[in-house]
Chain A
Amino acid sequence: MHPNRDNRWPDRLHSLWRSAFAAVNTRQFADELYTGLLALPGVHGILGVRYTAAGAAQVTRWADAGGLRTGPAGLSDEVSGLPAAFPLGELAHRPVTDLPGIATRIAACGADGLLVTAFEVSDGGLGLLGLATAGPPDDAVLVALTQAKEVVDAAERRIGEQREMEDQQAVDALLAEASLRMDASLDIADTLRAVLRLVVPALADGAAIHIQRDGRMVPIAAAHVNAQREELLVKHLGHVTGDPVATDEPHPSGLPAEVGLDTMTTGVLRARGRDVGLLTFFDRRDSGRQNSTKFLRDLAGRAALAIDNATLYEQRRADVLSLQQHLLPAVLPTVPGLELAAGYNAADHTLEVGGDFYGVVDRPGGEVVALVGDVCGRGAQAAALTGLARHTLETVLAEGGSPRHALGMLNQKMLDNRISRFLTIATATLTAGEGVLELEALSAGHPPPLVVRRDGAVEEAGCTGRLLGVLADLRLRGWRDRLRPGDLVILFSDGLIEARDAAGGFFGDVELARSLRELRSLPLPSLVDGLISGSDRYHVNDDVAVLAIRYLGPPLFDQVLPAADVADAVTAALRDLNPALRAGQLLVTGPTRVTITGDSTWARLGLHPDPNGGSVWTDLTA
């Protein structure tokens, strides 16, 4: 019988060629190929083997009357000697007597010999396609196998090309995702850890990143496809000293065998001429991975840039915060009869110095001037004007000039020097009166100070005026009031009232007054922190300066007493002041200075056991 007529080989061959250009894996294609070849006359079995470059049987298939099987038991061993029996590129027939390894299988399907074509496949491997025939194969079978081998070659090439393209797509996708992550975060160590998780096990069995710290490469992240061995990898990574060297070819990792990573390839992370880190891929021996070197270099380049950017950002941010601190008072003065606290929030979205500032000047004669200002804009120029403004104002005020005079002088200085920026400022001048504190507030284009009465009422100072640096006449209209013991004055910059909640509402609209009522009894540092945190609801996203002052009232009692006398003395002093004022249990263990300030309805009781500080106090109301 002629196979081309009776078994429709031409039709099958035509179909095979079509499949060869549509198949996405060899299994799909193998079904059709093996069925077609098995239908050839005198053919009782089909053998397919794919060997690795090292000669190991990687894929084995056998088809006979029982069907097609991939990797049937024993076949790998049976075909181990076949490459030696069949020369590459030739069609050769061998009787079973020459093929002892596979003779039993061939005989079992009713054949007595094997016709084989051996050919090269991708990755340096060897392909072998064989027909188990009864008797010598005729020409038609020889032709059919030659034709089948051509189809296998084509399919192999196409599948190989497809895989190569997909491998490149995978690498591109990985690089894109890694780049996206590194661009989106400034927490570089955490980001690089995540990037290693993308790499392992897609392109390597293990990976590690070292970062340059204090002159040596310190490991900051490692990943191993085998969780049990990840700790071992971390343990054996160690620091790298000396000049790091990039390696284009995998070389022995030097890691103990128990880590299971025999080879490594290293890329140096280099940015602006500096070695900032190392990226290393590890693999087990015979992993078969290829072409990861270019990817490693690409990823190392991007990681280096990300590390460099993050480092520069951190440096710049630290410089900005340091400069910002230098534009503010290191400590507020201690003023008898006043509790003072200040806070500053630096906008976290910028690398430029903000122009908000505050200060407290303790003037000769016991008068105190508090101020909060805001220079328009950010950056070096704003910082320069901030420094000029604060120090000019404080110098003039400390020498006895009035706040009105100090503001006028600064305004004139700015106009004379044609400073293109303007600034706003509010001041609160506090002068002791008879059992009260006289307050005069000024505002030059700034949010007026708020007065928080000890009963919780909040009033805005009614002062107005033009901002500094624009017009010669500031048109300052002051506002006077009296503070009773327990009353507060709050000065702040506009970043506080412009803080928004999730619904877009401003902190300053309603909530600021409510927050002040709720927070007014807290120690002032806690009150200031509470305001700057936006009462945990409003996002303070700008520079904000807050200065809070509480009037404690005149001194009513000030004695150092033995511990045993403290309770009785306090009880007696408070009874004289107002029987409704009561202190709780007082725990003191040694000689203690006891102070009471305030009036008959509000008093601050202070206990100072340690002459160097360490006092405690409580506010009492009637």
Chain B
Amino acid sequence: MDRSDGLNRLVLVVEDSEVDREAIDRALSRSHPELTLEFLADGNTVLDRLRGGARPALMFLDLSMPGTDGYAVLSAVRADPDFASLTIIVLTSSTTSADIDRCYAAGADSYIYKPVNFALFRTVLQGAVDYWYSQPNH
């Protein structure tokens, strides 16, 4: 999907599970073959990567990771004014109100439930990407 030329098609995915990284790669390659996906396997390197490389248009962030978890990454990224406008989509297997509120408070732009079924996962990711690329600043 090439919505308009010159769009930033780089998407950063921070996900510790290899299985989930593969699923995200497979899902987004099918629904959005135009995207360039870059994966980080833990939260520790996110800030360095954001400061040192090409700026992604979107960042998918797994909430539950060993070491620096998604909440910590979210807080750290939002604490840097340079990344205040970076769209961050939290991926999680929780649908509890407390977790959602905590993520919103920490600065998540979207809270996305990570289903087990691959077809549903692809649809969820597609819905999120379609939405954010339809917004004027993407």
Question: A residues touching B (Cβ–Cβ < 8 Å)?
Answer: 24-28, 57-60, 70-77, 163, 166-167, 169-170, 173-174, 177, 190, 193-194, 197-198, 200-205, 225-228, 230, 284, 286-288
Chain B nearest CB: distance from A463 CB in Å?
A: 52
Q: Which listed segment binds A: B64-72, B76-84, B110-118? A: B110-118
Let me know if B108 is at the binding interface, CB within 8 A.
yes
* Residues A77 and B5 in contact, CB atoms below 8 Å apart: yes
Chain B nearest CB: distance from A259 CB in Å?
A: 13
* Residues B4 and A227 in contact, CB atoms below 8 Å apart: no
**Which of B6, B9, B95, B104 has the most CB atoms of chain A within a 10 A radius of its CB?**
B95
Nearest 3 interchain pairs by C-beta: A201-B127, A71-B2, A27-B33
Task: Give the interface size bracket for B toward A.
Answer: 35 or more
Residues of B1-40 contacting chain A, CB below 8 A: 1-7, 9, 29-30, 33-34
* Residues B134 and A287 in contact, CB atoms below 8 Å apart: yes
* Residues B131 and A284 in contact, CB atoms below 8 Å apart: yes
* Residues B95 and A227 in contact, CB atoms below 8 Å apart: no
* Residues B1 and A59 in contact, CB atoms below 8 Å apart: yes
Tell me the nearest residue of chain B to A60, going by C-beta: B2
Let me know if B128 is at the binding interface, CB within 8 A.
yes
- Could you name 11 residue pairs across A and B whose Cβ atoms are closer than 8 Å? A58-B2, A59-B1, A60-B2, A60-B5, A167-B119, A170-B119, A198-B113, A201-B131, A202-B127, A205-B131, A225-B131
Chain B nearest CB: distance from A80 CB in Å?
A: 11
Let me know if B123 is at the binding interface, CB within 8 A.
yes
Could you say which of B6, B108, B115 contacts A198, with CB atoms under 8 Å apart?
B115
A25 to B119, CA, bound (A): 14
Which residues of A sit under 8 angstroms from B124, Cβ to Cβ? 201-202
Which residues of A sit under 8 angstroms from B112, Cβ to Cβ? 201
Could you say which of B9, B33, B119 contacts A173, with CB atoms under 8 Å apart?
B119
Which residues of A sit under 8 angstroms from B119, Cβ to Cβ? 166-167, 169-170, 173
Residues of B75-99 contacting chain A, CB below 8 A: 95-97
* Residues A226 and B117 in contact, CB atoms below 8 Å apart: no
* Residues B34 and A174 in contact, CB atoms below 8 Å apart: no
Which residues of B sit under 8 angstroms from A174, Cβ to Cβ? 115, 120, 123
Let me know if B41 is at the binding interface, CB within 8 A.
no
- Count of A-B contacts with CB under 8 A? 111
Which residues of A sit under 8 angstroms from B109, Cβ to Cβ? 226-228
* Residues B3 and A58 in contact, CB atoms below 8 Å apart: yes
* Residues B110 and A227 in contact, CB atoms below 8 Å apart: yes
A114 to B100, CA, bound (A): 53
Chain B nearest CB: distance from A74 CB in Å?
A: 5
Which residues of B sit under 8 angstroms from A228, Cβ to Cβ? 109
* Residues B34 and A71 in contact, CB atoms below 8 Å apart: yes
A59 to B3, CA, bound (A): 7
Which residues of B sit under 8 angstroms from A226, Cβ to Cβ? 109-110, 131, 135
A137 to B95, CA, bound (A): 59
Chain B nearest CB: distance from A299 CB in Å?
A: 14
Which residues of B sit under 8 angstroms from A227, Cβ to Cβ? 103-104, 108-111
Which residues of B sit under 8 angstroms from A76, Cβ to Cβ? 2, 4-5
A57 to B103, CA, bound (A): 36
Which residues of A sit under 8 angstroms from B104, Cβ to Cβ? 227, 230
Tell me the nearest residue of chain A to B124, going by C-beta: A202
Which residues of A sit under 8 angstroms from B6, Cβ to Cβ? 73
Which residues of A sit under 8 angstroms from B113, Cβ to Cβ? 197-198
Chain B nearest CB: distance from A281 CB in Å?
A: 12
* Residues B5 and A225 in contact, CB atoms below 8 Å apart: no
Given A71-B9, A169-B117: A197 touches B1 (CB 8 Å cut-off): no
A166 to B117, CA, bound (A): 10
Given contacts A71-B7, A174-B123, A225-B110, list 13 more A-B pairs with CB under 8 A: A25-B33, A60-B2, A70-B34, A75-B5, A163-B30, A170-B117, A173-B120, A201-B124, A201-B128, A202-B127, A205-B127, A226-B131, A288-B130
Chain A nearest CB: distance from B70 CB in Å?
A: 14
Chain B nearest CB: distance from A176 CB in Å?
A: 8
A197 to B30, CA, bound (A): 23
Residues of B27-58 contacting chain A, CB below 8 A: 29-30, 33-34
A230 to B113, CA, bound (A): 16
A74 to B9, CA, bound (A): 15
Given A203-B123, A227-B109: A197 touches B33 (CB 8 Å cut-off): no
Given A201-B112, A226-B109: A287 touches B97 (CB 8 Å cut-off): no
Which residues of A sit under 8 angstroms from B100, Cβ to Cβ? 197
A545 to B126, CA, bound (A): 57
Chain A nearest CB: distance from B36 CB in Å?
A: 10
Which residues of B sit under 8 angstroms from A26, Cβ to Cβ? 33
A227 to B109, CA, bound (A): 5
A72 to B135, CA, bound (A): 21
* Residues A287 and B29 in contact, CB atoms below 8 Å apart: no
Which residues of B sit under 8 angstroms from A59, Cβ to Cβ? 1-2, 34
Tell me the nearest residue of chain A to B33, going by C-beta: A27
Which residues of B sit under 8 angstroms from A166, Cβ to Cβ? 119, 122-123
**Which of A167, A197, A204, A228 has the most CB atoms of chain B within a 10 A radius of its CB?**
A197
Chain B nearest CB: distance from A577 CB in Å?
A: 57
* Residues A27 and B29 in contact, CB atoms below 8 Å apart: yes
Which residues of A sit under 8 angstroms from B134, Cβ to Cβ? 284, 286-287
